[in-house]
Amino acid sequence: MPTSATAPAFARERGNEAFAFAVASGLASAPRSLPCRYLYDERGSDLFDQITRVPEYYLTRAEDEILRAHAHDIRRAAGPTTLIELGSGTSTKTRHLLDAWTSQPGAAYVAVDICREALDGAAKVLQKGFPDLELHTLAGTYEASFPRFRQFSPITVAFLGSSIGNLADPQLDAFLEMLERNLYPGDGFLLGIDLVKDAKTLEAAYDDGAGVTADFTRNLFHRMNRELETTIAADQIEHIAVWNPEEEQIEISARFPTNTEIRLPTIGQEFSIAAGEAIRTEISRKFHVESMLARLEAHGFSRQEVYTDREEQFAVLLTTKTASPCPRKKRASRQWEESRQATNELLSAVPDPLLEAQHSRLMSPLVWDLGHIANFENQWISTATATSRTADLRAQDHLFEATAHARADRLKLDLPNATEAREQLQQIREDSRRRLRAPGKNAPARLLDNGLVLEMLAQHEAQHGETMLQSIGLIDGFAWPRPLRNPSPEEHTPARGMAIIPAGAYSIGAATDGFTYDNESPRHTRELASFAIALAPVTNREFLGFVEAGGYRRPEFWSAAGNCWREKAGVETPLGWQQINGEWHTTTMGHHRRLPHHEAVIHVSYFEAAAYAKFRGKRLPTEFEWEVAASADLETGEPRIYPWGGREPHPGLADLDQSRPHPQTVGSLPEGRSFFGCEQMMGGVWEWTSSEFKPYPGFQAFPYEEYSAVHFDQGYRVLRGGSWATRGVAIRNSFRNWDLPERRQIFSGLRLAADA
């Protein structure tokens, strides 16, 4: 039965809001850009169709030549698969493929496009031309449509017209990762790529003499006027297309001839564009066959056939998904090895006697953490591989018990020394690798097959990495040997102010297929009233305003419990602050320096965070508000795993992984912002929320009660987002950390919120 779906309904209802936020986010970045998918509304799709027929735009003709000559070869190589086309538009470029596909009975075709009108138009024409074709249409972004592909399996996914060239590297990798995750071994991927050639030919293709391409660019601004109530003089805008030979891409932008205010009344934001300023609307990258094949190979697609036109302007690559080891399992074992590497690095920076001593009543000696990592690994690898090594286990239990007692201050017990602890870790790791290679007959598939147990071990070890760093931070007179870093003057200035998040029903909880903790599940929907949340975390300079206004001595800002704690603990500043000759200084991780005004405030308790918020006439966000600000994406309707999307964290996106003994400057990671423009939600400092740690409706303990269940409703507050000391593998938007409201040896700060 033919189907027509628009994925998802949510995105449709929220269409204009999503468009507005996406525009705001692009205009707020430096250099400014606009999201290219909005080029393709009904009028834009029509203009693009005209572009494919202008004499300068050789791409469509070259690809057409290839497909006309080889469609039947492609169909033969691909076998009886459903043809799925991404960015199908009018489906004209698919005609030859459909000829080949329908030469056999039972052919099915799924057209996927962002533009519903274009799909409906195409469907009408196609159904006439190919009456026997089973035809489905799917309107939405690629992200939203990929997970639906499996129902059409086996499939050949076609991505033609060199549309892949419109993706910058990060999106390109995310795209291929998604493809890898959603296709089965044997499925095909057919990719059209435009090849690198001389600048003149390329520039002409993107700036035709009749001015159709220029109209296509201007239509984006007309569309804004139509849908977002902007009042841009769109006809004045100049269309520019230049070849950048280093990046091997055509760069398309819109230049404003005069100073222009872009007001987005629907979301209350505005931007001043200077005369002569160019806003990037699109890139179109050009490729080389071999490097693209290598890239595909790295994502589990191997070469089947390469076709080019006579002039070798364009290429069509046919690849198949290989039966490579499950990508998730591959990723899991990498994470598992990386976590150990990080532990070893951490240890190498601390002299042995300091690993063996207890430095604070709050923290165990570091060798205890090491014992716990080893013991935990041993137990779970035994369970997952159904290979128990009794003798080892007994030794481990002994160690575990001894170390657990050490926590209760009975330090005289036989904790391992640093050398023993290291050997233990090493020995158990080798043992684990061996057991994983030869699991027992009754090994539980649920833990082993998809890498779940390794993901869990990687995260567990990474979390100990952060606890160990807390202990290290409390060692008297020891400077953790990582260099301080002064911000460079050109660092992006932080986004100021607050984002207004619209009221609505939002998805909360774990949104990944990887291991997540029981307390992040089940994923469920919550109704939220509209609220405001700060675009950046609170800085030291801002917090200093509170200190200098006598905030620590003014009970009106503090809760009853907060006042009690403040007086008893004698706290007058965040942990580590000190005034010397009228100048504020701070000590973090043993490094003493002038108070860095532009870093996020760190080492504040929940009580201090809440008092600060009250002083500013604001409040802390609830954990749900925080999660929505980080994860909601009004365009796809799918919650994001990280504020920026689904890619694994890296240093350009988030301040994680212990790269320096303090958080990075606020504003220095604009690429990591969330859909709503909130920066540095992941990494930097953990952010206190007003929520108490409670189970989600329908909670089930996994893998064991002690992880979260025993901590619910014990007066803990939830912290979100991870810190500079958190490992990237152990954090995501849905991750919930919890601690007592008075704790501040942790890497904690805050972000303001308010009703809206």
If one asks whether residue 142 binds ligand TRP (CB under 6 A), the answer comes out as: no
Peptide bond preceding 661 in cis form (omega within 30 of 0) = no
Confirm or reject binding of residue 38 to ligand TRP (CB under 6 A).
no
In sequence order, the β-bridge partners of residue 113 are 139
Choice between 282 and 638, CB closer to ligand TRP? 282
Residues 6+ apart with CB under 8 A from 153: 82, 184, 187
Which residue lies nearer to ligand TRP by CB, 291 or 322?
291
What is the identity of the amino acid at 706?
A: E
- 216 is a contact residue toward ligand TRP (CB under 6 A): yes
Q: Does 730 bind ligand TRP (CB under 6 A)?
A: no
Residue 60 in the binding site for ligand TRP (CB under 6 A): no
Does 160 bind ligand TRP (CB under 6 A)? Our answer is: no
d(CA 82, CA 134): 9
Asked if residues 154 and 82 have their Cβ atoms less than 8 Å apart, the reply is: yes
For the chain, what is the largest distance between any 2 Cα atoms, rounded to a whole number of angstroms? 87
* DSSP-assigned beta bridge partners for residue 273: 260
Q: What are phi and psi of 110, to 5 degrees?
A: -115, 120
Of all residues in the shown chain, the one whose CB is closest to ligand TRP is 284
Closest distance to ligand TRP from the beta carbon of 248 (Å) = 13
Q: Which amino acid is at 417?
A: N
Contacting range for ligand TRP; rule: CB under 6 A; set: 161-169, 454-462, 690-698, 745-753: 161-169
Q: Is 606 helix (H, G, I), strand (E, B) or coil?
A: helix
Count the site residues for ligand TRP by CB under 6 A. Answer: 15
Phi, psi of 207 (to 5 degrees): -155, 70
- The answer to whether 608 contacts ligand TRP (rule: CB under 6 A) is no
Nearest residue to 19 via CA among 205, 217, 221 = 221
Block residue for tokens 């086309």:
85
In the bound state with ligand TRP, the residue whose beta carbon lies nearer, of 200 and 568, is 200
Q: Does 165 bind ligand TRP (CB under 6 A)?
A: yes
φ/ψ of 460, rounded to 5, equals -60, -50
Enter the tokens of residue 64.
């057409």
According to CB under 6 A, which one of 26, 44, 161, 741 is a site residue for ligand TRP?
161
Length of the chain: 756
Nearer to ligand TRP, 13 or 312 (CB): 312
Minimum distance from residue 707 beta carbon to ligand TRP (Å): 48
Give the residue, chosen from 7, 20, 23, 51, that forms a contact with ligand TRP under the rule CB under 6 A. Answer: 51
CA distance 633 to 136: 26
Q: Rule CB under 6 A: choose which of 59, 78, 179, 346 binds ligand TRP.
A: 59
**Residue 278 engages ligand TRP in binding (rule: CB under 6 A):** no
- Any contact of residue 663 with ligand TRP (CB under 6 A)? no
Does 163 participate in binding ligand TRP (rule CB under 6 A)?
A: yes
Phi-psi region for residue 48, left (φ > 0), alpha (ψ -120 to 50) or beta?
alpha
Contact positions with ligand TRP (CB under 6 A) in 280-299: 282, 284
φ, ψ at 434 (rounded to 5°): -65, -45
DSSP single-letter state for residue 140: S
Task: Provide φ and ψ at 101, rounded to 5°.
Answer: -65, -40
Options 156-164, 399-407, 525-533, 598-606: segment touching ligand TRP (CB under 6 A)? 156-164
Cα dist from 720 to 633, 664, 723, whole Å: 18, 17, 9
> Which of the stretches 212-220, 269-277, 325-333, 454-462 binds ligand TRP when contact is defined by CB under 6 A?
212-220
> For ligand TRP, what does the binding mask look like between residues 225 and 254, x meaning CB under 6 A?
---------------------------x--
Q: Does 171 bind ligand TRP (CB under 6 A)?
A: no
The window from 155-163, 268-276, 579-587, 694-702 that contacts ligand TRP (CB under 6 A) reads: 155-163
3 state SS of 692: strand
Q: Does 118 bind ligand TRP (CB under 6 A)?
A: no
Query: What minimum distance in Å lies between the beta carbon of 87 and ligand TRP?
Result: 8
Q: Are 115 and 109 in contact (CB under 8 A)?
A: no
| Residue 465 engages ligand TRP in binding (rule: CB under 6 A) | no
Q: Could you tell me if 453 and 384 are in contact, meaning their C-beta atoms sit under 8 angstroms apart? A: yes
Whichever of 220 and 628 has its CB closer to ligand TRP, that residue is 220
Q: Are strands 524-528 and 260-264 parallel, antiparallel or unpaired?
A: unpaired
Task: Give me the least distance between CB of 310 and ligand TRP, in Å please.
Answer: 20
Q: Minimum distance between the CB of residue 303 and ligand TRP, rounded to whole angstroms?
A: 23
Indicate the SS3 state at residue 95.
helix
For residues 165 and 562, which CB has a smaller minimum distance to ligand TRP in the complex?
A: 165
Instruction: Specify whether the CB–CB gap between 84 and 110 falls below 8 A.
Output: yes
Does 206 help bind ligand TRP (rule: CB under 6 A)?
yes
Give 162 or 313: the residue with its C-beta nearer to ligand TRP.
162
| Rounded least distance, CB 377 to ligand TRP, Å | 48
Centroid of chain to Cα 139: 24
Q: Judged by CB under 6 A, does residue 162 bind ligand TRP?
A: yes
Residues in contact with ligand TRP, shown as a per-residue x/- string from 298 to 337 under the rule CB under 6 A: ----------------------------------------
Which helix or strand (DSSP H or E) is residue 135 part of?
Answer: strand 134-139
Taking CB under 6 A as the rule, does residue 387 contact ligand TRP? no
Question: What is the rounded CA–CA span in Å between residue 473 and residue 467?
Answer: 10
Q: What is the rounded distance in angstroms from the CA atom of residue 676 to the CA atom of residue 660?
A: 28
Query: Which residues in this chain contact ligand TRP in the complex, by CB under 6 A?
Result: 39, 51, 59, 161-163, 165-166, 206, 213, 216-217, 252, 282, 284
